[in-house]
Structure 1
Amino acid sequence: MALANWIETYIAAKDHNRPHLMAQAFLPDAELQMDVQTGIISFPAQSLGEAAITQVLVRDFGTKYENVYTFCVGERPQAHEANYRCQWLVVMSDKATGEARIGCGEYEWVADAERVGVQRLIIVIKHMEVLPPVLLAPILAWATQLSYPWTHATQIAVHMPNDPAYAAVRRYLLPTA
């Protein structure tokens, strides 16, 4: 497998609450670093080991959120690439409140092809918007129009609702829009 496959496996594990898939993507001694630049959501700054990463990004995350769609914005990494950076977009809903959430940031992936898996993941959360439950249906309708899990800024621009609630995410992902 290549880095693109490991990224897709991670997204499937997180978005569909399938913790058993994480061992297919991350090495046992993998490292997760989180740089959360918003007060809307919180994660530990660092998690060491696939089991700890799975707990944070799948099990704990899955207890709070549903209807999760995570997108990598840009081209899939090439088969030979061991390092990959991209922007990401997530849409989801809060299980307890029904509120819609839309967020974005950056991923930095470092793979170890010899050991066959992701060695380090850095996630930067730039924006996370909490929106009223009434906006969930339009957000999910928009998300299902995008290529998944790899999408392009042009697709986001074409399909993103023109609503002020999306302004920060729009400015970050589409700075020229």
Structure 2
Amino acid sequence: MEDPRLPHYRRALETYIDAKDNTRPERIHEAFAPDAVLTFSLATQNIAFPARSVGAEAIAKTLVSEFAERYSRCRTYYLCEPDALVVRERTIDALPWLVVMREDAAGALRIGHGTYRWTFDTNDIAPRVSAFHIHIARMDVIDDPDGARLERLQEDLRYPWLAPDDLAACYGALADDASGSFAFAREFAHPLR
């Protein structure tokens, strides 16, 4: 039997994506508890975030306002079907993600992946995120002065819920392109496990 809170959890995850990718910091307060805690672990030096932010306001500043000052045209994908979320003891652990965005100042494409861990408060009617951990396993910076690579990488992906098989098919085909200009996509064709 499906956890009756699952639709609330999915809505929180979708609200976060809308807030971050569409620069709507006010939406963070809809999904996160006022005293929520954000933590990061980084396995790359190609991006930086504070190790810890406390409170929905600080999370909105870190993940939305300050993020949008540097990155644009961001699309973040959850690499699973929405009905396949696994929740154990109010936690969604190791949910793989992919991000494809633009760093305007550098004229570069940013593509990265990792995992999210979401922990929800004990409110059974409308649970909100109480702790959020982002692990960034890889973040590549690729020259893309006109944004054409970014557009191509995003155009065939279902957003924000993306089946891993669809990602593999799309990015596998791009990586096999005869021009070789998307060979890097092979590194991102499969979710981080």
Confirm or deny that 1:103 pairs with 2:109: no
**In the aligned structure 1, how far is the partner of 2:143 from the partner of 2:152?**
15
- Which amino acid in the other structure matches residue 144 of structure 1? E
**In the aligned structure 1, how far is the partner of 2:69 from the partner of 2:140?**
19
**In the aligned structure 2, how far is the partner of 1:18 from the partner of 1:140?**
22
What TM-score do you get using the length of structure 1 for normalisation?
0.89
**In the aligned structure 2, how far is the partner of 1:174 from the partner of 1:116?**
27
Confirm or deny that 1:15 pairs with 2:21: yes
Task: Structure 1: state its 5+ residue gaps.
Answer: none
Aligned to 2:163: 152
Match of 2:59 among 53, 61, 72: 53
**In the aligned structure 2, how far is the partner of 1:80 from the partner of 1:71?**
17
- Residue by residue over 1:102-132, the C-alpha shift from the partner in whole angstroms, topping out at 9 and shown as x without a partner, is 0000001111251631011110000000001
- Which amino acid in the other structure matches residue 23 of structure 2? N
Which stretch of structure 1 is more off in the superposition, 96-105 or 139-148?
139-148
Shift of 1:135: 7.7
Which stretch of structure 1 is more off in the superposition, 1-10 or 111-120?
111-120
Task: Structure 2: state its 5+ residue gaps.
Answer: 1-6, 176-181
Aligned to 2:91: 83
Structure 1 contact 3–77 (Cα < 8 Å) conserved: no
**In the aligned structure 1, how far is the partner of 2:111 from the partner of 2:129?**
26
Larger radius of gyration: 2
> Secondary structure at 2:159's aligned position in 1?
coil
Aligned to 2:34: 28
- Which amino acid in the other structure matches residue 61 of structure 2? Q
Return the structure number with greater strand share. 1
Determine what percentage of the aligned residue pairs are the same residue.
32
RMSD: 2.2
Aligned to 2:4: none
Which stretch of structure 1 is more off in the superposition, 38-47 or 158-167?
158-167
How many residue pairs match? The answer is 174
**In the aligned structure 2, how far is the partner of 1:94 from the partner of 1:73?**
23
Change (3 A) 1:76 1:113: farther
